[in-house]
Amino acid sequence: MFLSERRRGQLAALSIAAVVIIVGVPLWWRTTETYRAWLPVSQIKELAKLQLQLSADVEAVFARGTVTPEQQKKVPLTQTQEEERAIDEDTALRYRYETRYRTATIMEEDALNQPSAAEADLSLHTLSESPCGSLVVYVIPESSSLLPEDVNVYIGQRRTALLRIGPQMRVGKTLEQLLAHLEPRIRQVLQVMSFSHNDITAALSDRVRFSPDNKESIADNMRAFKSSPGYEITFSLLNPDPKSHRLHWDIEGAVQTYIQPLLTKLSPVANFSIDSQTLYYAMLGVNPRFDTSRSAYTLNADSLAHVINPVEARLGSNAASSNPVLNFLLYVPDAQHSPLYIQGRKKQEVPSNAFHSPRWGGIMVYNVNGFYGSEPEFPVDININMAKVMGVFLAQLRLLLGVQSSTPPPGFLVARCGSTGLADWELDRLMWSRSVENVATATTTITSLAQLLDQIGNIVINDNIAQQVSSAVTSLQLAVAELEAGNLGFALQYSKEAILASEKAFFDPSLLHLLYFPDDQKFAIYIPLFLPMCVPILLSLLKIVSEARQRRREKQAKKD
């Protein structure tokens, strides 16, 4: 009787414990769970280890007189070289150069017989248009009169270059020797015209931390704007003294003439929108110093950083978009502080009277005291010479957009860019580095998002975020594949899509809901229920276990 009563109690305790564990805990778990859609984590992890391969196609065309007939029989042939560079433990780069050698066609020969290099360049372009990202190098004989004496390489406005075959290349050497001689020189042309290791590593700066040993290159990298699907360009005319100057600028015409061709050319890289405004009573933040020796006011390079701040508050951001803004300010000093000149770091005058700030824009000081005449009668009507202004702004725009104008190696002659302000190969260069930069940025965003979601377990992941992440990952994979295949245009396109999707996922407001209570707070709420329920169960379980153990010991003792 006594034993059975004890037994019943134990059974009751056990069954209650079983009900709590089998029904209660799963029920609680399911009802407090947050929705987390599936993310392609393994693919993201793969992307975190970025293996980029860049492929460049070069066509080397031998003009008449550069190869002997027996050499000529062996061409066309194709050579492929690969070069591998590890950037850091997570990022590796591989460059693949595919060089196809062939001899020039009759029409190309005709084109190469033009009197000057520029004309040859133009007629070669009309013969065939090489696709985005590829190059054609014409190897011309030593005696060719196309290039001036000391110039070995001529880089045209499009995707063609003329390469003078070296003097030591006498007829009679084997083709292998000839190719071995040409190969490094073609590589050099390629580095100028499509991509160099420096550009690519600079573009990867989002992923890779650089040791700050070379500040110059960091400054160069920081000058250009980060890659973005669109830019807003704002031209502002600052007139601090509308009482004495009535300024007129034909910004509409100037934009059409000078800026628009460049932007049309750059349209594969990003969308641009242009506007302009006039700001009155916009003062600079620094009082310029009067230089008696020149009877002019000067602004020091050191104080330039303080110049913009008061103006910037009035520039206004674009209310209608969130793209980065490039500001170009034209400052007309007031009558009392004019003329105004900018002094460089070494106390010399900056000839353009303009300066630019990395990733912000440029400002140009436009002195108008020359227009006053002998007896100025204020206000003076002044027409601003837009050609002069736009020349400066165009140069700044090229810098800020990252159109690199690195100095070519000796012996190179770079053709003057035409009306568009941008050669085709410059655009290619920009597209190479922008694609790589986009890929780097998008992978960083996606991996950090995945990491964040992994670390904070109770963020709700909605289906739309999962979808954005998947599409970003797909676009990234496509972009990487297209880079590998050498299709530059597609690569850029996919990398832009990847960046858009990854940013959209990362900044989705649904990730920021106030649903994240720390675990300790949650358990503080549960404690009044959990504690009184679990303590008796645990205690009686312990008791049952200890009793069972004792019984076994007793049984053993009995056996013994």
Partner 1 sequence: MAAHRSCRPVWLFILCSFSLFIIAGSQETTVAPEQHASVLDNPQTAAETAEQTAGESGGVEERRWEGTEVRDAAAQKQAEPAVLQPTPQPKDDFQEELVVRPLHSGDIYASFQFRTLWETDFMRGNKVSHYRLFPKSLGQVISKFSVRELHISFTQGYWRTMQWGQPYLPSPPGAELWVWFQDSVTDVDATWKELTNVLSGIFCASLNFIDSTNTVQPSASFKPLGIGNVTDHRFLRYATLPREIVCTENLTPWKKLLPCGSKAGLAVLLKSEKLFHSSFHSQAVHIRPVCQDWQCKTTSWELRQTLNVVFDLHNSGQGKREWSLFKMFSRTLTEACPLASSSKIYIDITDNPEGEQFELSPATSLLSQAMVLGDRRTFSVYDLTQQDTFGSVRSLNLLIRWKSTEGDMLRPLLHAERYVAGYGLQTGEIHTLMYNHHPYRSFPVLQLDSVPWYLRLYIHTLTVTSKGKDNKPSYIHYQPSKDRVRPHLLEMLVQLPPNSVTEVTVQFERALLKWTEYTPDPNHGFYVGSSVISSLVPSTVAMDTNSTRERPLFSSFFPCKEESSYFVRVYTEPLLVNLPTPDFSMPYNVICLTCTVVAVGYGSLYNLLTRSFQIEEPSPGLAKRIANVIRKMRGVPPL
| Cβ closest to partner 1, residue 177 vs residue 526 | 526
Among 62-70, 109-117, 131-139, 531-539, the segment contacting partner 1 (CB under 8 A): 531-539
For 183, residues 6+ apart whose C-beta sits below 8 A from its C-beta are 79, 81, 99
Q: Which of 43, 51, 72, 278 binds partner 1 (CB under 8 A)?
A: 278
Query: Which tokens sit at 374?
Result: 């002998």
Among 81-89, 91-99, 461-469, 524-532, the segment contacting partner 1 (CB under 8 A): 524-532
Query: Which tokens sit at 366?
Result: 């436009």
Q: CB of residue 272 vs partner 1: minimum separation in angstroms?
A: 9
Q: CB of residue 88 vs partner 1: minimum separation in angstroms?
A: 15
Q: Does 415 sit near partner 1 (CB under 8 A)?
A: no
Q: Does 112 sit near partner 1 (CB under 8 A)?
A: no
Q: Does 405 sit near partner 1 (CB under 8 A)?
A: yes
> How far is residue 530 from each of residues 22, 186, 508, measured CA to CA in Å?
15, 76, 36
For the chain, report the end-to-end CA distance as a whole number of angstroms. 28
Q: Which of residues 172-191 bind partner 1 (CB under 8 A)?
A: none
Site string for partner 1, 305-344 (x = CB under 8 A): x--------x-x-xxxx--------------------x-x
| Cβ closest to partner 1, residue 113 vs residue 198 | 198
Q: Does 388 sit near partner 1 (CB under 8 A)?
A: yes
Helix, strand, coil percent content, the chain, rounded in steps of 5: 50, 20, 30
CA distance 481 to 500: 18
Query: Which tokens sit at 412?
Result: 């190179």
For residue 154, which of 119, 128, 102 has the smallest C-alpha distance?
119
Q: CB of residue 32 vs partner 1: minimum separation in angstroms?
A: 13
For 314, residues 6+ apart whose C-beta sits below 8 A from its C-beta are 279, 282
Q: Does 13 sit near partner 1 (CB under 8 A)?
A: yes
For 378, residues 6+ apart whose C-beta sits below 8 A from its C-beta are 243, 244, 335
CA distance 26 to 21: 8
Among 21-29, 102-110, 191-199, 374-382, the segment contacting partner 1 (CB under 8 A): 374-382
Q: Name the residue with tokens 């805990």.
A: 25
Q: Which of 82, 275, 463, 554 binds partner 1 (CB under 8 A)?
A: 275
Q: Does 354 sit near partner 1 (CB under 8 A)?
A: yes
Among 84-92, 146-154, 215-223, 479-487, the segment contacting partner 1 (CB under 8 A): 215-223
Sheet of 340-342: strand order equals 289-291, 296-299, 340-342
Site string for partner 1, 480-519 (x = CB under 8 A): --------------------------------x---x-x-
Q: Which of 39, 124, 146, 304 binds partner 1 (CB under 8 A)?
A: 304
Number of residues near partner 1 (by CB under 8 A): 102
Q: Name the residue with tokens 């050191």.
A: 302
Q: CB of residue 258 vs partner 1: minimum separation in angstroms?
A: 7
Q: CB of residue 477 vs partner 1: minimum separation in angstroms?
A: 22
Q: Does 362 sit near partner 1 (CB under 8 A)?
A: yes
Q: What are phi and psi of 234, to 5 degrees?
A: -120, 125
Q: What is the DSSP string of 3-25?
A: HHHHHHHHHHHHHHHHHIIIIIH
Q: Does 531 sit near partner 1 (CB under 8 A)?
A: yes
Site string for partner 1, 66-105 (x = CB under 8 A): ----------------------------------------
The size of the chain, in residues, is: 560
How do strand 245-248 and strand 380-383 relate by DSSP bridges?
A: parallel
Among 33-41, 109-117, 118-126, 214-222, the segment contacting partner 1 (CB under 8 A): 214-222
Q: What are phi and psi of 170, to 5 degrees?
A: -75, 155
Contact (CB, 8 A) for 161 and 139 = no
Q: Does 298 sit near partner 1 (CB under 8 A)?
A: no
Q: Which of 274, 311, 401, 439 binds partner 1 (CB under 8 A)?
A: 274
